[in-house]
Amino acid sequence: MIRSLDELRARLREFTEVRDWSRFHSPKNLSMALIAEAAELVEHFQWRSETESGQLSPEERAAVELEMADVLLYLAQLADRLDVDLLAAAERKMALNEAKYPAASNRGAAPRKPG
């Protein structure tokens, strides 16, 4: 069982090396594969209303979960390739977001989400 992003990275690295695919996995190419997977996720939702996008049938849900997995697989491979600690980067970004959008001044204030 994969219990952490670190384990996922190690599993993906082995998967890639055994197939001799490392030579295809430049950061440039991985970013392309990542956005292609993100688009497959978007495709599931493009003709649904916002409400319907939260009401997936079991089959649709299973498909959406695999698209989300694909995004994570390429993000983890990019992180491995560039040696990025994803959770640490996420924490840094959240701190920036907290400074940019202070809680008090935003609550209920905006009819529209900023950014």
Binding positions for its own copies, 26-85, rule CB under 8 A: 26-29, 31-36, 38-54, 56, 61, 64-66, 68-73, 75-76, 78-79, 81-82, 84
Q: Which is nearer to its own copies, 59 or 82 (CB)?
A: 82
- What Rg, from alpha-carbon coordinates, does the chain have? 18
Given a contact cutoff of 8 angstroms between Cβ atoms, the answer to whether 35 and 99 are in contact is no
Residue type, 79: A
Residue found under tokens 């400074």: 99
Minimum gap (Å) between residue 57 Cβ and its own copies? 11
Minimum gap (Å) between residue 100 Cβ and its own copies? 11
Minimum gap (Å) between residue 59 Cβ and its own copies? 14
Q: How far apart are CA 36 and CA 71, in angstroms?
A: 9
Spatial neighbors of 75 by CB under 8 A, at least 6 apart, are 34, 86
Sites for its own copies among residues 91-110 (CB under 8 A): 91-94, 96-98, 101, 103, 106-108
User: Is residue 5 close enough to count as binding its own copies by CB under 8 A?
Assistant: yes
